[in-house]
Each structure stands twice: as structure tokens, then as C-alpha cells.
């Protein structure tokens, strides 16, 4: 690559001059070369190479009205963003997919509720072609913002206001939480367990509620003393486990709504000398790398393709953008990604 020439970079004009063609032809070559005869293509490419030409993105955007960038909006409070490897992995997936389509990722972290104005201004400012956002809450302003800005958006996790998984109001990608929970509980049942408790996640997250629903699907008429509330953290899992043991010392299995809570529960069980899985079988959810396989015993859990979900989100958005551009193609639909039961030693 030629050294950066002092001052300004070469323009298309310069490339055209060097190749002995018009700017229009040079442009055609740079953008794929359709309808340009071979010898000219080669001449232009040679000039590009020699001059180290790189298209000016702003100029291109100005006329095409496309930026080649999408925003990733993360409105989660800091705590979750930090503790949850979930986000990092989804972002990694998103990044991979976008990169493969020459699209850039602009990260928009929402710094508190007053910050949505800035987000709105940014999304409406034509800086990006579309947006990806996560786990919407009931009164989440993001959908309204993107609608007003006139850009397509895809969401990660089922928005809380959608009645059903599968609702098409806004396109989203989510794991089959309910199905996964059913799978887990059914597995415990098949193991012969009869008093299967559940440590639930926070009620304001649809993933937690869907998992609870899945638990209930299998165990019709659940005894409420078998369900304890947690907050998706290790500590809350430990507390919930202690609570459950107090209420139902006879329980013989626990399905925790995520691995972190399962590991907290496991700690309590161990402290009390309750053998896992012999006396109490334990199943988690997420198959989180740094947790599930590192506990003692390792967790049986429900695994999901987190990075794949990110890729899928990006793919749906890119498809929507393509549709906007070409005026045809299919409307993106929400996708529920499959989950699998990962059998380890805890159940």
C-alpha cells in the first residue's frame, strides 16, 4: 500500500486522469465494473492500485443516501451490560455478519433515560441505514424512534409487549426459551424427579417469563412453593435456593432460569451437603462458557447459539435494507432460534 500522500488523498478524478478515462468510467470500475470493457477495467484498477485510491465515503453517502453503517443500540443498565457475556457474544456475531457485508457497526450505549434524545437525533440524522437493539421493555422508546427516523430495525429478544412469541409487529430474534425450559423440565421428569422446583428470572424480562411458562407447560398445576424468584445473578440464585430448601426440603430437582443462578444454587446445595445430582438434580439455562462447564459438578443446561443469534439479527436487518434499496424482497420475519439440552453431570 502506498504511503499516505501528504495533504489530500487521491480522488476519483485523479484515478480517471491516470487511467486515461472519464470519471464516470472510473466510478463504474470502482463499483464493480459492470458494462466496462476489460482493458479499461484493468487500466483503472492499475491506476487505483498505483495511487492507493480509497473512495471518499462522505461523498458517496451524500449522493447514494446510504451510509453502509448500522447502529447497535444498547439501552441496558450498566450492570447487565457488564456482567452478561451475552451481549459481547451477540455483538461479536453481529460484527461478523456486518463485516461480511461491508457494513460498519456504530455502537450506541444509552447513558440513562435522558439520553434517548441523542439517540433519536443520531438515528434520524442519516448516520446509519438501520438499527439493532436489545430486549425491549414495555415503554421502550427505541421502536418509535426508528419508525420516526424512517429506518428499519431488528430487535434481540422478544419485546415485552408482544403477546406471543412469533408476533410480527417488530422483527426480532430470540431463543426458544419456552421450548428450552420445557425440554429441561421434561428431562428432569424423565429422570424420575417428582418435586421439580424453579428459580425464575426477573419478571420484566421476557426470556425469564418464557422460561417460567415452559416450566409450567410441563408441570401443570405447579405448587407455588416450588417457584422462587431470582434476578439472573449468582447471589440471587443462592438466595432463592436457600428459600426453596426452607419451604420444600423434599425437593428433588431444580431448574434454574439461567446458569448464573444455577451456580449460586449449586453453591448452597454443596454448603448444606446435599449431593448433586444424587439427591437434587440441577439444570441451568444458557450454557454460558465460563460458568456451566466450570462448576463442580458441571451443569446440565440448555444451550443456545448466542453468536448465531447476533448474526441472524444482522442478517435480518441487512435483508430489510436490501429490500428498501431494491424495492423488492421479503419482509423480514422474526426468528426463534433452536436450543439444545447439554447434558453434563448436575442432572
Binding site for a copy of itself (CB under 8 A): 1, 3-4, 9, 54-59, 61-62, 67, 69, 72, 78, 81-83, 85, 87-89, 91-92, 95-96, 99, 104-109, 111, 115, 118, 120-122, 124-127, 148-150, 234-235, 289-290, 294
4 lies in the site for DNA, by CB under 7 A: no
Q: State which residue, 27 or 88, has the beta carbon closest to a copy of itself.
A: 88
Q: Which of 189, 166, 182, 183 minimizes the C-alpha distance to 281?
A: 189
Q: Which of 211, 184, 178, 208 minimizes the C-alpha distance to 196?
A: 184
Alpha carbon distance 278, 274 (integer Å): 8
Alpha carbon distance 203, 229 (integer Å): 9
88 lies in the site for DNA, by CB under 7 A: no
Q: State which residue, 46 or 121, has the beta carbon closest to a copy of itself.
A: 121
On whether the CB atoms of residues 130 and 151 are closer than 8 A, the answer is: yes
What part of residues 13-32 is at the interface with DNA (CB under 7 A)? 13, 20-25, 27-28, 30-31
With CB cut-offs between 5 and 8 Å by kind, which of a copy of itself, DNA, none does residue 294 bind? a copy of itself
With CB cut-offs between 5 and 8 Å by kind, which of a copy of itself, DNA, none does residue 30 bind? DNA
DSSP secondary structure code for residue 73 in this structure? E
Tell me which H or E stretch contains 190. Answer: helix 177-190
60 lies in the site for DNA, by CB under 7 A: yes
Q: State which residue, 290 or 326, has the beta carbon closest to DNA.
A: 326
138 lies in the site for DNA, by CB under 7 A: no
User: How many residues in the shown chain lie near DNA by CB under 7 A?
Assistant: 27
- Residue 172, beta-bridge partner list: 155
- Shortest gap between Cβ of 169 and DNA (angstroms)? 31
Alpha carbon distance 156, 13 (integer Å): 44
Alpha carbon distance 283, 267 (integer Å): 14
The C-alpha cell 438434580 sits at 281
Alpha carbon distance 175, 333 (integer Å): 14
Alpha carbon distance 70, 283 (integer Å): 37
11 lies in the site for DNA, by CB under 7 A: yes
Alpha carbon distance 71, 149 (integer Å): 13
Q: State which residue, 149 or 269, has the beta carbon closest to a copy of itself.
A: 149
Q: State which residue, 128 or 142, has the beta carbon closest to DNA.
A: 128
Report residue 74 as a C-alpha cell.
Answer: 444498547
With CB cut-offs between 5 and 8 Å by kind, which of a copy of itself, DNA, none does residue 223 bind? none
Q: State which residue, 35 or 290, has the beta carbon closest to a copy of itself.
A: 290
Q: Give contact residues for DNA (rule: CB under 7 A).
A: 8-9, 11-13, 20-25, 27-28, 30-31, 35-37, 40, 53, 55-56, 59-60, 62-64
Amino acid at each position: 500500500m502506498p504511503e499516505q500522500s501528504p495533504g489530500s488523498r487521491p480522488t476519483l478524478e485523479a484515478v480517471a486522469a491516470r487511467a486515461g478515462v472519464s470519471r464516470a468510467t472510473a466510478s463504474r470500475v470502482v463499483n464493480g465494473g459492470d458494462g466496462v470493457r476489460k482493458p479499461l477495467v484493468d487500466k483503472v484498477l492499475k491506476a487505483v492500485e498505483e495511487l492507493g485510491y480509497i473512495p471518499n465515503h462522505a461523498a458517496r453517502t451524500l449522493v447514494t443516501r446510504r451510509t453502509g453503517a448500522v447502529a447497535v443500540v444498547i439501552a441496558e443498565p450498566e450492570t447487565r451490560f457488564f456482567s452478561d457475556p451475552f451481549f459481547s457474544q451477540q455483538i461479536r456475531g453481529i460484527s461478523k455478519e456486518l463485516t461480511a457485508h461491508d457494513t460498519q457497526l456504530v455502537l450506541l450505549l444509552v447513558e440513562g433515560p435522558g439520553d434517548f434524545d441523542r439517540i433519536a437525533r443520531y438515528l434520524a440524522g442519516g448516520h446509519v441505514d438501520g438499527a439493532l437493539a436489545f430486549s425491549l421493555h414495555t415503554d421502550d422508546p427505541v421502536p418509535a424512534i426508528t419508525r420516526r427516523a424512517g429506518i428499519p430495525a431488528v430487535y434481540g429478544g422478544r419485546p415485552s409487549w408482544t403477546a406471543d412469541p412469533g408476533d410480527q409487529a417488530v422483527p426480532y430474534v430470540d431463543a426458544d426459551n419456552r421450548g428450552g425450559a420445557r425440554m429441561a423440565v421434561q428431562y428432569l421428569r424423565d429422570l424420575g424427579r417428582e418435586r421439580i422446583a424453579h428459580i425464575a428470572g426477573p419478571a420484566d424480562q421476557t426470556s425469564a417469563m418464557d422460561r417460567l411458562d415452559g416450566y409450567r407447560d410441563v408441570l401443570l398445576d405447579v405448587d407455588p412453593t416450588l417457584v422462587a424468584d431470582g434476578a439472573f445473578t449468582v447471589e440471587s440464585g443462592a438466595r432463592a435456593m436457600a428459600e426453596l430448601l426452607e419451604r420444600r426440603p423434599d425437593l428433588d430437582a431444580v431448574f434454574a432460569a439461567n446458569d448464573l443462578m444455577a451456580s449460586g444454587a449449586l453453591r448452597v446445595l454443596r454448603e448444606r451437603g446435599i449431593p448433586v445430582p444424587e439427591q437434587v438434580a440441577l439444570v441451568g439455562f444458557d450454557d454460558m462458557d465460563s460458568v456451566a462447564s466450570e462448576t463442580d459438578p458441571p451443569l446440565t443446561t440448555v444451550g443456545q447459539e448466542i453468536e448465531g443469534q447476533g448474526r441472524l439479527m444482522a442478517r435480518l436487518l441487512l435483508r430489510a435494507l436490501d429490500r428498501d434499496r431494491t424495492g423488492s424482497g421479503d419482509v423480514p420475519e422474526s426468528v426463534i432460534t433452536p436450543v439444545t439440552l447439554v447434558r453434563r453431570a448436575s442432572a
